[in-house]
Amino acid sequence: MDSAASPEYFIGIAQQAMWILALISMPVLLPALIVGIVLGMIQAATSINEQTLSFVPKLIIVGAALAIFGGAMLMLLADFTRELFARIPDMLR
């Protein structure tokens, strides 16, 4: 295992944190992006420029994604936090 004082150790922790961030945000951002693109194309085709027409469906999709994936996202974050707290003694060496 790397020495706790080495920069590679902290870079590894930062890379793992960025990966966890991507995994947690993807189930919410991807459906919102898809709905936004589809509604944008519909608005462009029909020349309807109403802001609430794109906001309300995205809000509903984000709420549904949080309801479906929220537990898994929370468990992933809790596991990472638990692992990070377990590494604290290694960081102090």
Q: Is residue 47 part of a domain?
A: yes
- Tell me the C-alpha to C-alpha distance, in Å, between residue 45 and each of 32, 39, 58: 20, 10, 19
| 19 occurs within a structural domain | no
Structure tokens at 36: 């936004």
What pLDDT tens digit does each residue of the chain (93 aa) get? 556 668 888 899 999 999 999 999 999 999 999 999 999 999 889 888 888 888 899 999 999 999 999 999 999 999 999 999 998 888 777
Count of domains forming the chain: 1
Residue 70 domain flag: yes
13: in domain: no
DSSP conformation letters of the chain: ---TTSHHHHHHHHHHHHHHHHHHHHHHHHHHHHHHHHHHHHHHHHT---HHHHHHHHHHHHHHHHHHHHHHHHHHHHHHHHHHHHTHHHHT-
* Structural domain contains residue 52: yes
| Domain residue limits at 53 | 25-91
Contact 76, 25 (CB under 8 A): no
Residue 16 domain flag: no
Assess if residue 29 is contained within a domain.
yes
pLDDT of 88 reads 86
Count other C-beta atoms under 10 Å from residue 73's C-beta: 19
51 domain residue, yes or no = yes
- Predicted model pTM: 0.76
